[in-house]
Structure 1
Amino acid sequence: MIKIKEFTELTEKDKAYIRELIDDCIRYEQLELSVPDLDEEDGTAYLYYQSSKNPKLISVLFCYDLEDYLEVSAFTSPAHRCQGAFTSLFQKLMEGYEETPVCFYPDGNSYDALMTMEVLDCEYSGTEHLMRLEKRPEVAGDAAIAENNATVTLYPATKDDLLALVAVHSAAFDMEKEDSIAFLDQSFDTGETIWCIAAGGTIVGLVLTSIQPDQTNLYGLAIHPEYQGKGYGRDAVNVLLQKPEITFPVTLHVTEENEAAFKIYKGMGFVTTQELMEYWY
């Protein structure tokens, strides 16, 4: 008898079953699959067991309710694919979200995942590249001299910079100022570092980093539209990568549609480790 368990908080035993299942999927597909944070408390996990007599986990679905839509990811044992496990979990999820849009981010190189999107009749909307730089780039001469010769300077923002940062963020991302304020306030409160990108004493852009002991995640690079096309974005990333507090590897996400940013990162030595294709149900 099929056994589906629903959790908003996972036990250590269930986490161990999930890690074993995801490891099986990674070995089978030979892909760098994005693994959910099993300690995340904001999502719901649906676990599919073959039966109470056979407690081996064969499928898991993660759901994050982001108010306007759901973000869903799932893993199914290679030996049990095309047997209805994912379908059962997805139907169970949608019992409570019949009219809610669902977003999936399957790996673009996963045949099984893309076939699932086709079966569900999902709509493709774009591709996101996960990129990685393993070590600090070498610079000719002294890094401090190189920074002084750059067209921009970078410094950690404080809340005194908030109004200038909001002007940049809202213009660059075409967002309402209230939404930019909420986003930047949250970044301050959660410990991310917001870097001001300044040229001639004026804040022309910003970039955010989440610095961990063993890696740094870079995101939110933005140059105000009035100052774009001057090389400030490229110079800002070059300067940032020389900052001593930045740990390596450095990882980032960039959409395929953002050709300028993708070209900048690729030219600096970042390599694509995974392509996530956005689909909507």
Structure 2
Amino acid sequence: MLTVEQLHAIEVLQKECEQADTIQLKLNWDMLRQRDDLSMDFFHEENGQLIAYLALYGFGSTVEVCGMVKPSDRRNQHFSNLWQQALRVIEEKGFEKILLNASASSTSAKAWLVTQPCMYTFSEFQMCWAKQPLEESEDILIRQALPADSSFEIQLDVLSFNMSEEDARLHHGDIKNRTEESRFIIVAEGTDVGKIRVSRIDGEAYIYGFAILPEFQGKGYGGKALRNVVKQQHEAGYSVGLDVEVKNNHALRLYESIGFKTVQAQDYYLWN
């Protein structure tokens, strides 16, 4: 596990970078707080202060990369040096696909990316829910996922997120023991029709892995399930956020209809 001191240093550097650049970084705090493989984190410190940080996040055979450098210490090759260390770990672990993540409005990240053999692939909106009345749907049941639901959850990841079965199984193995995250099954007509995950950290509930079986889409079950989850989290005292791929117009319209607003965009680049 990362130490309390390391997590605090990462948080301090994140806030400094976000304030200086007027951006939001995607550091996947739910994963950082439960790290069991410290080879996925790379630090550059000077005089006891964190100057640069790079993190790897494994999702099956894909690894995502995010990092930051103290604004006053940029152009000193700190991030490039950490990236060379990270590339060796990526090769050792056998990841097949590398996605570099950068805030869409970060000029410093884009300046580094143009020097790298990578190509823009897609963008993601980070969205936050703006408080408004929501009516709970009683014909939708949201129940806690059980060990017996694993095959169903894996099947949904394959069908909904263009994942191979092997990657979906690896991903499920990674998330099922996260203590700050809850997995739910969506039930309609007495049948399991979908799933959703909720991570709660520092007063914010973040929604992940929301999916409905193809044969049950278009019946309003997804919207009703999402409203119920958002309402429950709000009433429990949490703000609510999620990510959605920009080109997923159907999901984007659904989230906006419930009250989600875009606050930031993240760009992803495929490493060649």
* Structure 2: runs of 5+ lacking an equivalent: none
Paired with 2:173 and 2:85, the residues of 1 have a C-alpha distance of 36
Preserved contact between residue 134 and residue 248 of structure 1 (Cα < 8 Å) = no
1:215 alignment partner in structure 2? 204
Give, in angstroms, the shift of residue 118 of structure 1: 1.1
- Counterpart of 1:29, as a letter, is D
Contact 1:25 1:78 in 2 (8 A): yes
Q: C-alpha distance in 1, partners of 2:19/2:41?
A: 22
Is 1:21 paired with 2:16? no
Question: Residues 60 and 168 of structure 2 are in contact (CA less than 8 Å); yes or no, is this contact kept in structure 1?
Answer: no
Q: Counterparts of 2:188 and 2:74 in 1: how far apart (Å)?
A: 54
CA RMSD, Structure 1 to Structure 2 (Å): 3.4
TM-score, normalised relative to structure 1: 0.75
Superposed, 1:117-266 pairs within 5 Å as 117-135=113-131, 137-139=132-134, 143=135, 146-148=136-138, 152-162=140-150, 165=153, 167-175=155-163, 180=168, 183=171, 187-191=175-179, 192-211=181-200, 214-243=203-232, 247-266=237-256
Mapped pair 1:34 → 2:26: yes
Is residue 53 of structure 2 the alignment partner of residue 60 of structure 1? Answer: yes
Stretch deviating more after TM superposition (247-256 or 20-29):
20-29
Three-state SS of the structure 1 residue aligned to 2:53 is strand
Residues 96-107 of structure 1: matches in 2 within 5 Å? 97=90, 101-107=97-103
Deviation string, structure 1 residues 119-151 (Cα, Å, up to 9, x no partner): 11311111112211254x414xxx5xx523x5x
Normalising by structure 2, we get a TM-score of 0.77
CA distance, structure 2, for counterparts of residue 262 and residue 78 of structure 1: 33
Partners of 1:219 and 1:96 in 2: CA distance: 27
> Which is helix-richer, 1 or 2?
2
Task: State how many pairs are aligned.
Answer: 262
Aligned residue in 1 for 2:87: 94
Q: Distance in 2 between matches of 1:92 and 1:216?
A: 33
Is the partner of 2:232 in helix, strand or coil? coil
Matched AA of 1:33? L
Unaligned runs of 5+ in 1: 1-7
Conserved? CA contact 2:103–2:265, under 8 Å: yes
Q: Which residue of 2 aligns with 1:81?
A: 74
Offset, 1:19: 4.2
Q: What is the CA-CA distance between 1:25 and the residue it aligns to?
A: 1.4
* Structure holding more strand per residue: 2
Structure 1 residue identity aligned to 2:186: I
Separation of aligned partners in 1, 2:158 and 2:49: 48
Shift of 1:164: 5.1
Task: Say which one has the larger Rg.
Answer: 1
C-alpha displacement of 1:117: 1.0
Task: Give percent identity, aligned residues only.
Answer: 26
Return the alpha-carbon distance in structure 2 between the equivalents of residues 82 and 33 of structure 1. 19
Distance in 1 (CA, whole Å) between partners of 2:171 and 2:49 is 41
- 2:267 corresponding residue in structure 1: 277
Quote the offset at 1:106 in angstroms. Answer: 0.4
Distance 1:66 1:35, change over 3 A: closer
> CA, structure 1 residues 194+95, in 2 after alignment: closer, same or farther (shift >3 Å)?
closer
Shift of 1:107: 0.2
In the alignment, residue 14 of structure 2 is paired with which amino acid? I
Question: How far apart in 2 are the matches of 1:65 and 1:278?
Answer: 15
1:279 shift after superposition: 1.1
